[in-house]
A and B are shown apart, each in its own frame.
Chain A
Amino acid sequence: MISFDKVTKRFGSNLALCEISFDCAAGSVHAVTGENGAGKSTLMNLLAGIFPADGGEIRLRGEPIAPERPSEARRLGISTIFQELTLLPNLTIAENLFLGREPMRGAMVNRRLMQERAREIMARLGSSLDVDTYCGDISLADQHLVEIAKGVSVDADVYIFDEPTAALNAPEVEKLGALLESLKAAGKLVFYVSHRLDEIFRFCDRVSVLKDGRHVETRATLSLTRDELVSLMVGRVLSQFFPARPTPAESAPVELGVRDLQVVEAGPKVSLALRAGEIVGLAGLEGQGQRSIIRALAGLHPSMAGEVTKNVAGEMKLLKLSVVETVMAGIGFVPEDRKTEGLYLPLSINQNIALGMLPRLSIWKIAPTGRNLIADLMLRMNVRSTSAGQEVGQLSGGNQQKVMIGRWLAAGINVLLLEEPTRGVDVGAKTEIYGLLRDFAHRGGAVLVVSSELLELLGLCDRILVVRQNEIVAELEGAGTSEEEVMQYALTGHAKHSQASPCLN
């Protein structure tokens, strides 16, 4: 049905896809997998008409195609269910499903027919949601379900599911499985973009593995074991990628203490302690509360109850959770979305980093230029730029990330909270960022990381706390645990009955 032939895509100087070639058959569910940043989404975006390829050819039933916009891809019979929500919150479910292709009666929308058909579509997904509810009023998981329904309601030959289960709960994942079966039976080709091994083995017939923008292999899932698939995805020894973990210091002082923190109304209570010199990871499925916990500590998410204490010169001081206060207390937060929440894109590298040095100063004071400090930092972090005066918006993702971390290093903080520290960052810069974090910890800092890339947490962290439904359900040694063990806790909240956990490294 679809063939990729030497498909290549660049973003600036960054080679995102390099000569990808493989075929996919109708009547099958074809998994596209790989680590984050491997190029899965980029490849699918080419097919969905988000942006054009720079080289090679995509063929649909032997005919070369090059959709230039999503509407063109849809006309060719390619329907995409995006990872991000595209629903309009002020329209109802039915209105969203038929947006732009409403059933008409004369010049008017045939509301009755639209609602009826919307109900049918939602029923196919096993959902009993009222189709007249506004999309802004339903839960995130339900919104994703509507998103899926929207994609599937289009009559197409090729369906692309981009990380469809990221926000779904177990029963909805089941329904998704049934839906995939029915599409397959109808002779459609389904692309299933995911790095969840369970789902790949359960739902998919074949799997194509990408790594760093290159095609590694396409195999029938039946001919693969989990371990084989993981090694295809990772493709390198993890220990080369991550800095060595020091032997844990027994008596390191607690830098940040959290007791009975509640991030949702009447939710479970979270307690944890961050010690100097360690990197702790919050793992779990997406949307389980890791983000709320780290954001609450950063003063950006309201906390209902609990107390947070911070080590100030050897004494644990109670902390008021507001952004200004936490920064003053020496806690830095690196948000996931560096473009909208992290950086000042039109300002220079200099200005971006120098802002870190100001929080403890009155606004009426003269600001230090910190030229030497910034030059040192840029050298240490290996920021690649034309000069310290270059606009941050012109830097690559990895260098932007370094500038964001550098701002907190300049601030002289000793607790660093990070959300997805290497999202959208190329492999080389990833290694450098891991090195920076380890170095920060080594100098006596404490690091808390939220990441949806489990392999990253496994390789980087000293301890991993598994979060499920806003609760910490397990505390695992980073060096002694495995992807399976963490996933087991993340999915079920308790350990497997027969304890067997092969190590990854």
Chain B
Amino acid sequence: MTRSTTSQTMAIGHMLQVSGRVILSLPFAYAGTVILLIAAYFMRPALLSPFLLLLIARQAAPLGVAVLGQSLCMRVLSIDLSIGGVVVGVSYILTSGLLPFPDPVLLLIAIVFGIAVGLLNAFFITRLRASSVMVTLAVTLIITGIAVAFSQLRSPGDAPQILRDLVRIKIGIVPLALLIWVALLIPIALFLRKSVFGRYIDAIGANPRAAWVSGIPYVRVVTVVHVMSSLFAVLSGFLLIGFVGVGSMDLGRDLALNSLAAVILGGVTFGQGKGGVFGPTVAALMLTFSFNLLTSLGLGEPAKLMMQGLVIGVAAAAYSVQRKT
């Protein structure tokens, strides 16, 4: 073998090695999406028609919006399991008719409700140093409990017309819901990249103790993060209610868990924002697509549950391994 071919094979080997490393360092959602699309191509090619893909993307919008908030929480070493509770609360406020106001006022009340939940979460987490898992889980249970209690009195009814229209409108062939989602993404990604707020999120995620010692306004940043997360959950609720057309106590039940899975698949782990905003977004699409694929294969709900569990379990294990090294 001549010297040049050796160096050539070595160069190719090196390239493979480098590209392998790059793929591994990318969020799993990217590779996962490709794998799923290939699988669908062989098993259910019908899913790949542009019409269905757009429909699936639209279906992914509520999850995608909620994921934005969840990823922010996880980047500052917090978590938001109250997303589901917020959606239930929003659904009850908007559809029960208990509050005798016109729709725009109800939407406003729902937004204020979201801010209040975010502030409550943040208060317990930052001031009382309570575990974010416990606090947000408790908040979800309390809100759901209250909503269920009230629903004895007056059950949820039809969704406001404005929301039903919102999700039905298409611009060209693209659903408006999808456009809203995408329109949120870019400014948020830019804001996180360029702003003082984004820098602080990275710092708190990397070392909260150092952030405190060096005078970073920890309480303010984490409070803003939780309020944002709740507001995203409210918007997510608007979209969901629009899709379904009627309020329900089951709405958004697995949103918190799915958003958690999507954030992790999207390359954001506790305290690390490597996947940015786009990793979790792709993961939201990937998860929604995979649920559709599973349903079309006749595996439905059980497989979906198993997959959610698997994603979260594997991610947690990967995270602790990463921590130790």
Residues of A within 8 A of B (CB): 298-300, 323-324, 326-328, 333, 335, 340-347, 351, 354-356, 358-359, 361-367, 407
Contacts and interface: CB of A to CB of B under 8 A. Distances in A.
Given A340-B207, A342-B210, A367 B196 contact: yes
Nearest to B274: A346
Contact of B202 (A347, A356, A361, A407): A347
B272 A344 contact: no
Interface stretch (B133-141, B213-221, B230-238, B284-292): B213-221
Most-contacted residue by chain A among B196, B198, B209, B220 (CB, 10 A): B196
Residue among A351, A365, A367 facing the most chain B CB atoms (10 A cut-off): A367
A407 B216 CA distance: 13
A347 B206 CA distance: 7
Interface string B190-208: 0000111111101100110
A345 B216 CA distance: 16
Nearest to B221: A363
B206 A363 contact: no
Given A323-B215, A327-B214, A363-B224, 12 more contacts: A324-B217, A333-B214, A340-B209, A343-B207, A344-B202, A351-B202, A355-B199, A355-B203, A355-B216, A359-B216, A364-B195, A364-B197
Contacts of A298: 213
A335 B211 CA distance: 12
B262 to A, nearest CB: 23
6 contacts: A351-B202, A363-B217, A364-B195, A365-B196, A367-B194, A407-B214
A345 B209 CA distance: 12
B41 to A, nearest CB: 38
B279 to A, nearest CB: 17
B272 A323 contact: no
Contacts of A326: 215
B213 A361 contact: no
Contacts of A345: 206-207
A300 B209 CA distance: 11
Nearest to B212: A323
Nearest to B211: A344
Q: Which of A356, A358, A407 has the most CB of B within 10 A?
A: A358
B48 to A, nearest CB: 39
A377 B200 CA distance: 21
Given A324-B217, A363-B224, A358 B209 contact: no
Contacts of A344: 202-203, 206-207, 210-211
B198 A367 contact: yes
Contact of A328 (B195, B213, B215, B272): B215
A333 B210 CA distance: 11
